Chains A and B, each alone.
Chain A
Amino acid sequence: MENNKKSKFANIIWQVYKYLLTIISMFRTNIRDYGMYIALAGIFIIFGSMTNWVFLGPINFTNLLNQTAYVSVLAVGMTLVIVTRQIDLSVGYIGAFLGAYVVVAVENLGQPVWLALAGALLLTSVVGIIKGYFIAKIKVPSFVVTLGGMFIFKGLLMLKTNNRTIPTTNVFFQKIGIGYLTTYDIGGVDIITLIIGAILVTVLIFSGIKGRKKNDKLGIPNEKLEIFITKLVFMFGVITYLSWTLSSHKGISYLLLITVVVVVIYHLMTTRTTLGRRIYAVGGNPDAAELSGINVEKIIVIVFISMGVLALISGVMYVSRLQNTSPNHGPFWELYAIAAAFIGGASASGGSGKIVNAVIGSIVIMSLKNGMALAGIDANIEPIILGSVLLLAVVFDIYTRNVRSIDLVGIHYAKKKYHKDLIEAKEQFEIATKELKEAKKLNKEDLIEYEYRFTDFQGQFNKIKEKIRVAKEEDFI
């Protein structure tokens, strides 16, 4: 009876240990994707603790998300530009110029908002086509084309604003910039936000389960159940926290809503549509894409038009949030977007980069800005930290490029199974090493024989180690 209890207890401990091993294996295998999430969590915790958790509190967190909106939207477009092996330096000033265009059209020319927006949309599309034409058709490097564009639109911004800050009081800009979705408060908490959160969680769970079933049907291996559930729990936690934080302040802002809509559309476009597949194919291998019947030039033009449209959205977000347009808007926007895309793991050699990760990259950047200001750190330090983070992120990405999958549970079983062989091989290897050393010291005539012996045992030892290293849990069931 006593014994039985003991083994039961040991079993529970083993199950917990096994679960931990599984989770750690997952992190180590997918470190490339999860590294950034871990980094973001680290940043949150650091700034949280430095600011007595004000950083993560409802007011500041809402503010952080609103601040991030314009960079996120640019970063989404920039990711596709980078995926197709291009760069766009012009979008900062284009975005600022379009913001100015819309504000001036509404405030000074008395145009209705829709007309101003339509005009800006037309303008940015034409600019996108021109950029794309120069880059794709005439083959001018995008760096040069968009550098030119950057100067041109800096000048146009100054002309448009007449070198003055122009405030706006239009309802549209107020709503977009500082407005929130309708709320329904109960005890200081917005119920609508909570309900949206609940719906999201439900959708997540059901689509996750559906995906697993579909994979089963197709015979594509699913991730381990433990990992799937852990991920769900984690997502549940994040969404719960987000909806709670937002609902305890003012609910969901229009800025956040627009960002989410843009991100969802682009995420679906890149992962589920033929257009997305073509964009990544062009980035992965332009020559092969061309020969596969893909119009490479057209794809690049489309990517630059999309970038322009997102610059418009970004610019309007920015002027709306500040309730004015100014000749000082625009610098560094494009560089933040590029940094966000790279922090998010986009590859400069093209073909890879995820939309959602670019948004995470944007949040990393803005968290640094916001957090350091809140913690009262000298504002001049911020770019130094940001630059270092960017470098670290890219170095990390390169280092983890060829990470092999690992299954610690499998290794645990394998270690048990091959324990005796391993010890034996190790002993022999150590003896051979020692003998070789001595033979070298004595400069023996048949030194080479010792070398052979050494290599032999080294090989055997490594072979067993390798066998353990690649072991998988499935192999032991």
Chain B
Amino acid sequence: MKQKYILSMKSITKLFPGVKALDEVNINVKRGEIHFIVGENGAGKSTLMNVLSGIYPHGNYDGDIIFDGKTKRFHGIKDSVKDGIIIINQELALFPNLTVFENIFVGHEISKNGVIDWDKTKELAKKYLDMVGIDVDIYQMVSSLGVGKQQLIEIAKALSQDVKLLILDEPTAALNDNDSDNLLKLLVELKKQGITSIMISHKLKEVEAIADSLTILRDGKTIIRMDKKDVNEQIIIKNMVGREIDNIFPKRVPYKGGEVVLETVHLNSFDKELNRYIVSDSNIKLRKGEVVGIAGLMGAGRTELALSIFGNPKNYKISGKVLVSNKSVILDSPKKAIDNGIAYVSEDRKTNGLILEETISQNITIANLKKISRYGILNFFKQNLFAEQYVKDIDIKTPSILQQVKYLSGGNQQKVQVSKWLFSNPEILILDEPTRGIDVGAKYEIYTIINDLVSKGMSILIISSELPEILGMCDRVYVIAEGNQTAEFDIKDATPENIMKSATV
């Protein structure tokens, strides 16, 4: 007798030092359905999948995994793969310097006595690539393919491993609309062939489009399991955040106008490694008390523009001028940019924003050590006092300012990053994807902070891939495509359509 549920995870509890990541979580997935796991960041979705796939081996968590009617104890990812549970992570696990067909069979090569049968490998690779409906040369290096295609190759790889349960962790986060649609269609196609999928996604539209059922997690707990027919966006959001959000963007006093505080004049940046211009002829203006958005697709050169202004840490070859308060300045190191009142909250807080091993108070003060020292000697009293103040003002949720930031949730880490830059007393704040990977509640708090800052006279530049964020927060928008500034809109003239049009020139 076949069980109705292909997978049941029962009262899964997983502890990290100081944090209960999962608290008695239950998940039930029916055979042959597409099941969504939805929740804010830090709700425990990825942790749950890591438990399922054996990345956190048995004994590392409490509770049981029942797969295909049997209790499973996975001691590593190998065990779960053997049972046909395959997880595709946000960060793809492909080898960029190997070809497509090599990638598909890495780890489970078709071989006899340790010698690889390349002919068979290529033949099968073609077959699986056809199954996922992708048209690529199997000899191509994976590094030369776009993210969308790489994703499909991962799925082809999963198929080649006899997948029974396919898990996708935010597969469409890095994809454009076209690629996303293709991926969703493919999942439906695979469902017809009897493959069950679990999908983790923030995008509620996708849930509406292809989900058969979903489970909502919040703060490491299972909130509810629902079937497709009972689902609508409002209900999902309500259960995700535990409260109804009427307005995602807090109201702010309208911008009244002021003098220009930052201006780029014919700014060009040439990347020596890529051997091309990543910013060409940028002319942007930012006025006092204004919020200006920089819209564009990923890779359009938005972060590069910000870094060109913020002291050029990547050593691009730069021509043109940057004016701060109408004075031409040479910003050839982040330190000079900071001294000129510019702050840059980076896109990726883990790789270049925070020092994860250090404490909250150390991270908040690192960009302005002068303020907490005299003659190079640190004053810990001051350091902790300031840190306490920010923890209170910005509402960073932590047991102590001496907590290492690696133990904080994404939203709270982002707040630490913002605090760090406010502590450097900037007049111009550049926010690079300020709400990427943080939950709806924390987003709202970040937006409130932004509004509060501009009302005090700060000028803010927001780089964002999320159009609603640009439209909801900014006074003016510049659109960038392939390094070129293609459009400028006043917010009342900006629509998702005309921004997208300019972004895809």
**A interface residues, Cβ below 8 angstroms from B:** 214, 218-221, 272-278, 280-281, 284-285, 287-295, 351-352, 402, 404, 445, 447-448, 451-452, 454-456, 458-459, 462-463, 466
Query: Is A273 in contact with B15, judged by CB distance below 8 angstroms?
Result: no
Measured CB to CB, the closest approach of chain A to B196, in angstroms, equals 18
Query: Is B367 in contact with A272, judged by CB distance below 8 angstroms?
Result: no
Chain A residues with CB under 8 A of B24: 459
* B420 at the A interface (CB under 8 A): yes
Query: Is B355 in contact with A285, judged by CB distance below 8 angstroms?
Result: yes
Chain B residues with CB under 8 A of A276: 378
Query: Is B402 in contact with A295, judged by CB distance below 8 angstroms?
Result: no
With beta carbons under 8 angstroms apart, the residue of B10, B62, B354, B388 that contacts A463 is B62
With beta carbons under 8 angstroms apart, the residue of A220, A281, A291, A404 that contacts B402 is A220
Measured CB to CB, the closest approach of chain B to A438, in angstroms, equals 15
A108 to B420, CA, bound (A): 57
* B17 at the A interface (CB under 8 A): yes
Chain A residues with CB under 8 A of B335: 293-295
Measured CB to CB, the closest approach of chain B to A435, in angstroms, equals 14
Query: Is B353 in contact with A291, judged by CB distance below 8 angstroms?
Result: yes
Using CB atoms, name the residue of chain B closest to A456.
B11
Chain B residues with CB under 8 A of A272: 377-378
A79 to B116, CA, bound (A): 46
Query: Is A292 in contact with B420, judged by CB distance below 8 angstroms?
Result: yes
- Besides the contacts A291-B352, A295-B335, A448-B69, what 20 more A-B pairs have beta carbons closer than 8 Å? A214-B381, A220-B402, A273-B373, A274-B378, A277-B366, A278-B369, A280-B358, A284-B355, A285-B351, A285-B356, A290-B334, A292-B334, A293-B424, A294-B335, A351-B358, A448-B66, A455-B64, A459-B63, A466-B13, A466-B62
A362 to B352, CA, bound (A): 34
Measured CB to CB, the closest approach of chain B to A31, in angstroms, equals 14
Query: Is A281 in contact with B358, judged by CB distance below 8 angstroms?
Result: yes
Count B interface residues, CB 8 Å.
Answer: 50
- A interface footprint on B1-43 (CB within 8 Å = 1, 0 otherwise): 1010000001101010100000010000000000000000000
Query: Is A455 in contact with B11, judged by CB distance below 8 angstroms?
Result: yes
Q: A285-B352, A295-B335, A455-B64 are in contact. Are A290 and B313 (CB under 8 A)?
A: yes
A281 to B368, CA, bound (A): 13
* B504 at the A interface (CB under 8 A): no
Chain A residues with CB under 8 A of B334: 290-293
Using CB atoms, name the residue of chain A closest to B335.
A293
Query: Is B384 in contact with A456, judged by CB distance below 8 angstroms?
Result: no
* B71 at the A interface (CB under 8 A): yes
Chain A residues with CB under 8 A of B10: 452, 455-456, 459
Using CB atoms, name the residue of chain B closest to A455.
B64
* B346 at the A interface (CB under 8 A): yes
A287 to B352, CA, bound (A): 5
Using CB atoms, name the residue of chain B closest to A349.
B357
Measured CB to CB, the closest approach of chain B to A140, in angstroms, equals 17
The secondary-structure label for the interface of chain A is helix
Query: Is B369 in contact with A466, judged by CB distance below 8 angstroms?
Result: no
Query: Is B381 in contact with A277, judged by CB distance below 8 angstroms?
Result: no
The secondary-structure label for the interface of chain B is mixed
* B344 at the A interface (CB under 8 A): yes
16 contacts between A and B (CB under 8 A): A273-B378, A274-B373, A277-B366, A288-B352, A292-B367, A293-B311, A293-B337, A293-B338, A294-B335, A295-B335, A352-B357, A445-B1, A459-B10, A459-B11, A459-B63, A466-B62
Query: Is A466 in contact with B15, judged by CB distance below 8 angstroms?
Result: yes
A454 to B13, CA, bound (A): 15
* B201 at the A interface (CB under 8 A): no
B window 366-415: CB within 8 A of A: 366-367, 369-370, 373, 376-378, 381, 384-385, 388, 400, 402
Measured CB to CB, the closest approach of chain A to B62, in angstroms, equals 4
Question: Which interface residue of A274, A445, A462 has the most chain B CB atoms within 10 A?
Answer: A274
Query: Is B3 in contact with A284, judged by CB distance below 8 angstroms?
Result: no
Query: Is A277 in contact with B333, judged by CB distance below 8 angstroms?
Result: no
Chain A residues with CB under 8 A of B355: 281, 284-285, 288-289, 351
With beta carbons under 8 angstroms apart, the residue of A219, A220, A277, A295 that contacts B369 is A277
Using CB atoms, name the residue of chain B closest to A461.
B62
Query: Is A459 in contact with B62, judged by CB distance below 8 angstroms?
Result: yes
Query: Is A284 in contact with B356, judged by CB distance below 8 angstroms?
Result: yes
Measured CB to CB, the closest approach of chain A to B497, in angstroms, equals 35
Query: Is B71 in contact with A451, judged by CB distance below 8 angstroms?
Result: yes
Q: A291-B334, A404-B17 are in contact. Are A218 and B369 (CB under 8 A)?
A: no
Chain A residues with CB under 8 A of B402: 220
A351 to B362, CA, bound (A): 13
- A interface footprint on B332-347 (CB within 8 Å = 1, 0 otherwise): 0111011100001010
Measured CB to CB, the closest approach of chain B to A20, in angstroms, equals 25
* B310 at the A interface (CB under 8 A): yes
A294 to B351, CA, bound (A): 16
Query: Is A451 in contact with B352, judged by CB distance below 8 angstroms?
Result: no
A455 to B66, CA, bound (A): 10
8 nearest A-B pairs in the assembled complex, by CB-CB distance: A287-B352, A284-B355, A455-B64, A293-B335, A459-B11, A292-B367, A274-B369, A462-B62
Chain B residues with CB under 8 A of A463: 13, 62
Using CB atoms, name the residue of chain A closest to B339.
A293
Chain B residues with CB under 8 A of A451: 64, 66, 71
A422 to B311, CA, bound (A): 61
With beta carbons under 8 angstroms apart, the residue of B11, B15, B384 that contacts A218 is B384
Q: A295-B335, A459-B24 are in contact. Are A402 and B66 (CB under 8 A)?
A: no
Using CB atoms, name the residue of chain B closest to A221.
B400
With beta carbons under 8 angstroms apart, the residue of B13, B62, B377 that contacts A273 is B377
Measured CB to CB, the closest approach of chain A to B7, in angstroms, equals 12
Measured CB to CB, the closest approach of chain A to B145, in angstroms, equals 27
